[in-house]
Amino acid sequence: MENDINFEVFLFFSKKKIILSVNRKTDFKLIFRDEIFFDDNDIHLNFDRLNFFLNENVFKVEKILGNFIEKINIILETRDFLNLQISMKKHDYNEKINSSIILYLIKSARNQCEKTIQNTRIVHILIDSYLVDDVHFKELPLNQKCKNFSLDISFICLPDELIKNIEKTLKKFQISVNRILSASYIDKFTKDRDINFFKMTSKIINGYNKNEVKIINKISKNKGFFEKFFDLFT
């Protein structure tokens, strides 16, 4: 029997294949894997196929685990992703760069993104670069005093309707979504690296990319929309 904190569940979903992978958290040992491939001309994600695949596998996995699958990480390969790049600038700042001003700029960019691409949900927020007094940085130069600085931020979004279809399908099996991730985004970290795709997915969920912002819902009046940058402000 696997305790629910000792395993992670990943579902890769594209028009060409569906993969279910269950791995132990401690050493990422494979507990279960099944996959199905499709050779046709479907241009959209097929939820009937996803429902059939889950129906064939969920009970099987839960029997092996001796536990219920409550949450699952979804990796999507689809043209439905929408990307938006926004630059946020701060002029005549004349102070040290700190987490508060960075989070303020990201939240402002997020609001702008939501107005620009409506009826979508943000899946990834990535800081591509920092420009500090005309000097580019790939990572945040925290506590550096400057006059002007700007952030180049990328937003990766999905249509609300698609996410609702995923949630509706999983709800039939009493499973909820832990994270939704872009397969092409994960691929950028697996190229030229001898690493398992789902292991890299787990690493990304847990903060592998220091310039990705983790998004959480507000859970109290004292907490903002953004929980933290991964590892940036520790």
pLDDT digits (tens, 9 = 90+) for 91-104: 888 899 988 888 89
Residue 232 has pLDDT above 50, yes or no: no
pLDDT, tens digit, for every residue of 154-195?
999 999 999 999 999 999 999 999 999 999 999 999 876 678
For residue 21, the model assigns a pLDDT of: 97
Residue 234 has pLDDT above 60, yes or no: no
Distance, in Å, from the CA atom of 121 to the CA atom of 123, rounded to the nearest integer, reads 6
For residue 16, the model assigns a pLDDT of: 94
Residue with tokens 């943000």: 122
Is the pTM higher than 0.85?
A: yes
Q: Is 59 helix (H, G, I), strand (E, B) or coil?
A: helix
Distance, in Å, from the CA atom of 100 to the CA atom of 105, rounded to the nearest integer, reads 9
Which conformational region is residue 103 in: left (phi greater than 0), alpha (psi within -120 to 50 degrees), or beta?
Answer: alpha
Mean pLDDT for the stretch of residues 4-12: 87
Structural domains in the chain, sorted by start:
7-79+160-193 (3.30.420.40), 82-159+222-229 (3.30.1490.110)
pLDDT, tens digit, for every residue of 185-205?
999 998 766 789 999 999 999
Partners of 79 in the beta sheet?
A: none
Are 214 and 126 within 8 A, CB to CB?
no
- The lowest-confidence range among 99-113, 114-128, 145-159, 203-217 is 203-217
The residue type at 195: I
Terminal CA-CA length for the chain: 35
